[in-house]
Amino acid sequence: MFIDEEKATHELFEEYVYNSSLADEIKLIPVFPESKLDDMCEKILKSDIDAVVSDFMLNEIKEDIVYAIEYNGVDLVESILEIKKGFPCFVMTSYDTDAIDASEDVNKVYAKEILYGDDTAKGNDPFLIRLKSQCDKYRKKISEAQEELTSLIENSNERKLSIKEEERLIELDDFLEESIDARNPIPHELKKISNQDNLVKLLSKVDEFIEEFKKNDQI
């Protein structure tokens, strides 16, 4: 999803993707920013997307939208990452210094000038390559966590897990929970496995996470 307040920039980014070496692998969804940060976050979370690229100054030009935007691209990205830990997010801007100063992770900030250069004409599109790489790594990490978690669940059906295995189960549970929605985590006190009943309750919650990720994998 590419978020910008200008339709002309939507079209420019679409052309950038179309002319890149990854044109057949990237489906771009350009959208205008919602007025309120919470509404924009919910729109992203309900969308079936693998990454977010947002302009930095979303409230600057009033040609295609007339309402005020109460946040910038850095605010949006950091809000999304508070909900979905590690989700691929990027900020694109003409105001490099301001965006870098505002961001906690300077590696997520890219100059919008790449849309105007001739790199893609040469098949050299480092930004899109990095975007795809981060998406691939993120999904691989989730997939590997699912597989390891499934193995632990199967083992728990046959025998009592060791303390080390239970600790690993909790670690994987934390990771998948934060990848889905970190706003309402299960308290760590409840994840300390002290008896089989607690383990069964935890594994039941984990099963829900796995089913949710199976739905999200249909992209």
3-state class percentages of the chain: helix first, strand second, coil last, to nearest 5: 60, 5, 35
pLDDT for 2 beyond 80: yes
**Per-residue pLDDT tens over the stretch 29-87:** 999 999 999 999 999 999 989 999 999 999 988 899 999 999 999 999 999 999 998 99
Q: Which amino acid is at 24?
A: D
The CATH number fitting domain 2-124, selected from 3.90.1150.10, 3.40.50.2300, 2.160.10.10, 3.10.20.30:
3.40.50.2300
pTM for the full predicted model: 0.76
E strand or H helix that includes residue 140: helix 126-158
pLDDT for 197 beyond 90: no
- Of the chain, the end-to-end C-alpha distance in Å amounts to 14
Distance CA 32, CA 55 (A): 10
Nearest to 33 by CA among 91, 82, 84: 91
Q: Whole-number mean pLDDT of the chain?
A: 82
Percent of the chain with pLDDT over 70: 76
**Per-residue pLDDT tens over the stretch 174-192:** 888 888 777 766 666 666 5
* Domain locations along the chain: 2-124, 137-216
